[in-house]
Amino acid sequence: MAGLAESGSNPDVDLLYDINGLAKDAPRWFDRTMEFVGEYGLLLAMVLLVVWCWWSVRRRGGPDAAPTVAALVWAPLAAGLAVLVNVPIRGFVERRRPFLDHQGLDVLVPGKTDFSFVSDHATLTMAMGAALFVADRRFGLAGIGLALLEGFCRVYMGVHYPTDVVGGFALGTAVALLLSPVATALLTPVLRAVEGTRWGGWLVRGRRDTGMNPVLPGARGEEHASAQERDLAA
């Protein structure tokens, strides 16, 4: 991996220069926007997307509410676990940031001295996007789209190689999907129990089907009148 960083004649470095080169031709305000979006904005957008999905599930209710909310709870947990898994990976690979080995890059966020492979931002966003896809396909596709945009921003900003981003996508997806069945199996019973408590209903408001037909207003009186008519007929 370090060998790729030292060579300027490979697709990884070529793509780095092509994408980062866009920053040189862009207005300063656009670069500042990309800096904020790539560093903080997309992470915040991903969190808001998970909250939006939770609110939609909560309003819809139904018997599947608890498993879906369990998958949503797993999304930030998967992201945190994936970043923890990345700690030994970074220490093992020890790939330096691209601007330390290549001249002429337009670095939008200077001062980063930690290792480059794999990208924490790409890992975080893709783990949440993949976990969100398990909970809800529509929101999950939007989350994966945000993760792809995050990966592009990290290369645009000059702080990661494209393969750093791809590695982050792979790591985040693997942690989120491989451990999702175990996580939802553990979290769903907890959320079902919380659903029935006084203070936990705001978290999961699943409408339970009692198996009985609903009694409409006035139906009880009509039912009583029908019983009297049957008695008189007898």
In the chain, what percentage of residues exceed pLDDT 70? 78
Task: Judge whether 139 and 93 are in contact, CB under 8 Å.
Answer: no
DSSP reduced 3-state for 114: coil
Domain ranges of the chain: 2-195
Mean pLDDT of the region 85-108 = 91
Q: Does residue 204 carry a pLDDT above 70? A: no
H or E element, residue 90: helix 65-93
Of the listed ranges 82-91, 103-112, 170-179, the one predicted with least confidence: 103-112
Task: Judge whether 154 and 38 are in contact, CB under 8 Å.
Answer: yes
Mean pLDDT of the region 212-226 = 44
Q: Which is it for the CA torsion 124, 130, 135, 137, positive or negative?
A: positive
Architecture of domain 2-195: Up-down Bundle (1.20)
Of the listed ranges 103-107, 153-157, 168-172, 216-220, the one predicted with least confidence: 216-220
Mean pLDDT of the region 210-226 = 43
Phi–psi pair at 113, nearest 5 degrees: -120, -5
Q: What is the pTM of this model?
A: 0.79
**C-alpha dist (Å) from residue 185 to 126, 131, 147, 192, 195:** 22, 14, 26, 11, 16
* Best mean pLDDT range from 13-27, 101-115, 125-139, 193-207: 125-139
Mean pLDDT of the region 100-129 = 90
The residue count for the chain: 234
Mean pLDDT of the region 103-123 = 89
